[in-house]
Structure formats: structure tokens, C-alpha cells
Amino acid sequence: MIIFKSINKLNKEVNFKASIGFVPTMGSLHKGHISLVKNCQKTCDKTLVSIFINPSQFNRKTDYKNYPRTLDKDIKILKKLKVDYVLVPNIKEIYSRNTPRKININKKYKVLCGKYRPGHFEGVLAVINKFLKDLKVKKIFLGEKDFQQYFLIKNFVKKRFKTKVVLCKTIRMSSSLPYSSRNKLLDDKSIRIAQKFTKKIIDVFKNIKKNTNKTYLLQSIRSNSNIKIEYLELRNKNNLSPIYNKKNLKLFVCFYIKKVRLIDNF
């Protein structure tokens, strides 16, 4: 495994004519990230993983400051996985003089996290744009847990790059709470509370798909839970609109456990 701290050096030493897959991360790696890497390794000759905590996608300074940083552990995980290349760039290189820190998104997509985290996805697209301009990768692998992020990146990439965007399924703890870097900010008791809440939502979504009263079921979660819910919405997975049918229906949720913000979708 070769670790690069510079995009320029990586470009000089890596042959991008090969089939190289890209897994962008902010570190604090978990089983979800490991699944992305393994999916990449199955279909690409070489795998490149980036570790970069992108300041422009945090809409609160405290959130950026508190984001878990475990670089040494991350490197050990990637070595064990036999990843070919790891990129750990610095902020100055990513956001050089001519690189935008934000890329605008359409107003109709400012829903869900786009509504409650203003500027977040604009920062995500800016760093993805930088990476794909400089790294001629064939595929980029993203997790379904961050479905809105995947949706926006896919739409952005198909208009500007030849890179294929690959969606990988959410990896969950005991078939409920998804693995997330933010889980590391929670104690065991909080994890159990989050798991129980997630299982309740999964059960409700099963009933919703059976044509049980959607409004009543969603309201029952909101009114009978002592957990702070930021949003709990049914949307069309093809365009994120509130107009959906059985085939394109998706349930999105965001909630807080001890001030830690968690998202999910089903």
C-alpha cells in the first residue's frame, strides 16, 4: 500500500489508464467503509481510498471540530484490506486559489439534509469535483446510508465526468442501526437507544409498504418517541420529490441522540 499526501505526487506515480476505483472517505473507518472498499476491489484492478475531513461541508464549526479523527487506525485497516493507494491531502492543496469551496445545487433538492444542513451538499460537491478533476478514476463507490448525497453526486458527475458512480448497500449493526463514524461519539447506552428506535422505523416502513395508513404511522413515531426527530419523510428515490409510488418509495429519517446527529433511509 502506498500512502500519498499530495494529489500531484499521486498523479505522477499512478497510471490512471488502469481500472482504478475510488472510495472517498473522511476517515474514522467502520464496516460500511470496509464494504465500499471490498466492492471496489471486486470490480477494479486497483483501489484508491482518500481520507479528508472536508471543512466546507460542515455547517457548524463545532461539528467539524468534534468529528472523530483516527488516522493511524484507519491506515492499519486499509493495510489489512490490501488497498493499493491511500490519499491523505491537506486543506491547502484541495482548496487552492482557483478551487471553489461550494458548488450550488438546485433549489428543489434543498430538502431533507439539504434543508437542515445549509451549505453541506454544496461543500460535498466541491470536494468531489476537485477529486474527479485531478484523479482520472473509472468508478467512485458511495454508500446508500447517505442516499441524498449519492443522488446529488451521481447527477453532478454524469454531466461533467466519465466516472461511473456505484451505489453500495447500507451495512447495519444487527440488521438495524447503520454503521457510521458518528456512532463513535455515542456510549453503549445511546447506541442501544438508537438501535431500538431504528428497528421501530423499519417495522413502520414495512407496514407503510403494505398500504397501511402512512400519515398515521409516521405521526405515531413522532408522538410516541422521546428522541428528537429532525425529519421523517417519504420521498421518491428517483428525484427526491414528495410524489411517489410503491416502486420508488423511500423513507428518510434524521434524529439526534445526545446531540449526535444520525441519518438513515429505507
Active-site residue among 7, 25, 33, 50? Answer: 33
Calculate the alpha carbon distances from 204 to 6, 78, 209, 250 in Å. 47, 37, 9, 12
Dump the DSSP string for 107-125.
Answer: GGG-STHHHHSTTHHHHHH
In the structure grid, which three cell numbers stand for residue 122, read together? Answer: 454544496
Q: How far apart are the first and last CA of the chain?
A: 35
Q: Is residue 148 within 8 Å of 117, Cβ to Cβ?
A: no
SS3 call for 174: coil
Q: Is residue 112 within 8 Å of 149, Cβ to Cβ?
A: no
Q: Is residue 50 within 8 Å of 89, Cβ to Cβ?
A: yes
Assess whether 33 carries a catalytic annotation. Answer: yes
Give the count of beta carbons closer than 10 Å to the beta carbon of residue 193.
17
- Name the residues annotated as catalytic: 33
